[in-house]
Amino acid sequence: MSFDEHLKGGKETDRPHRRGLLPIATTAASLIALFVVWHLVSSIWPSRALPPPMVVWETTLSELKSGDLGYHLMMTLWRVGAAYVVAMVIGTAVGVALGRYRRLDAFFDPWLILFLNIPALVIIILAYIWFGLSETAAIGAVAVNKIPNVVVTMREGARALDDRYMDMARVYHLSARDRLRHVLIPQLQPYLAAASRSGIALIWKIVLVVELLGRSNGVGFQIYLYFQIFDVAGILAYTLAFVLLMLIIELLLVQPVEQHATRWRRRLA
């Protein structure tokens, strides 16, 4: 009974319950199991290399109180955001161009394959050597790592564009802005969503490397610091905090935006 009442209480929020209760319970059980295993392993073989969950939690709290955690998280988050925007804008423009013009595509395809296969580390190091240890070089290096993936996805999207909508837009003389907003972007939306999703995950991992190699703040820099003093609790505290932050962004920003963008699809019975 009390469980039911609890459920009702939860329903007062406006967000629609897209998932049932069972998947949530499964997810919770799965995560709890992971922490239990971690706890058991760290208490059976006590070692500085694997601190128990409670120690990591305490480290997280103390870093939070000192303000360090918040500061470094925000520095990393801003780099992730900046690199994401740069990569999506440039990658989409290039991808759509390659998808629409076959000759352009034939010429630049080898470049694309080359860039897809250059290791992230090489691009980061070269960016720091050529442009100095600056914020621009850091964000640029991350964006350059991501751009080829965006290009490939958006090229597919541009190839799938429906010419009938373009014809309609031409006959009715839609403005360039209207064509972009109402004809082009909605058609590319599934591809933009795919590029975004794989993008965020990739970008934040590369951002940590960029910070480790040439920045004096951010989660990557802190992890490097704790690596040098062999403080695994600190490493895990920063990692888990940032993972949590990315999950919150996914839940509160990415999913609602996607739901809004595909609202016309949901009504299909």
Partner 1 sequence: MNSTQPVGAAASLKVAIYEKTFHSSQGVRIDVLRDLSFEVRGREFVCLLGPSGCGKTTTLRILLGLDREYSGTVNVSADASHRTAAVFQEPVLLPWRTVEQNIRLTLPAALKQTAFNDLLEILGLSGLETLYPAELSLGLARRVALARAFATQPAILFLDEPFVSLDEPTADRLRSLLMAIWAARPTTALMVTHNLREALLLSDRIIMLSPKPAHVAGVFEVAVPRSARDREAIEDMVLAFQDRFFGAT
Contacts with partner 1, residue ranges (CB under 8 A) = 164-165, 167-168, 170-174, 178, 182-183, 186, 189, 264-265, 267-268
For 122, 210, 212, 235, 242, the CA distances from 77, given in Å and listed in that order, are 23, 13, 15, 17, 9
The CB-of-262 to partner 1 minimum distance in angstroms stands at 8
Give buried/exposed letters for 79-92 (b at 16+ CB in 10 A, else e): bbebbbebbbebbb
For residues 10 and 135, what is the distance between their CA atoms, to the nearest angstrom?
44
Judge contact between 140 and 90, C-beta under 8 A: no
Comparing CB distances to partner 1, the nearer of 55 and 174 is: 174
C-alpha pair distances (Å), 30 with each of 19, 35, 169: 17, 9, 51
Nearer to partner 1, 152 or 174 (CB): 174
CA 35 to chain centre: 24
Q: How far is the CB of 264 from partner 1 (least distance, A)?
A: 5
Between 83 and 188, CB nearer to partner 1 = 188
| Closer CB to partner 1, 80 or 192, in the complex | 192
Residue closer to partner 1, measured from CB, 12 or 163: 163
Phi, psi (deg, nearest 5) at residue 4? -60, -45
- Smallest gap from residue 198 Cβ to partner 1 (A): 23
CA distances from 59 to 85, 220, 246 (A): 33, 17, 20
Residue 251 Cβ vs partner 1, minimum distance, rounded to whole Å: 24
Closest CB 150 distance from partner 1, rounded Å? 22
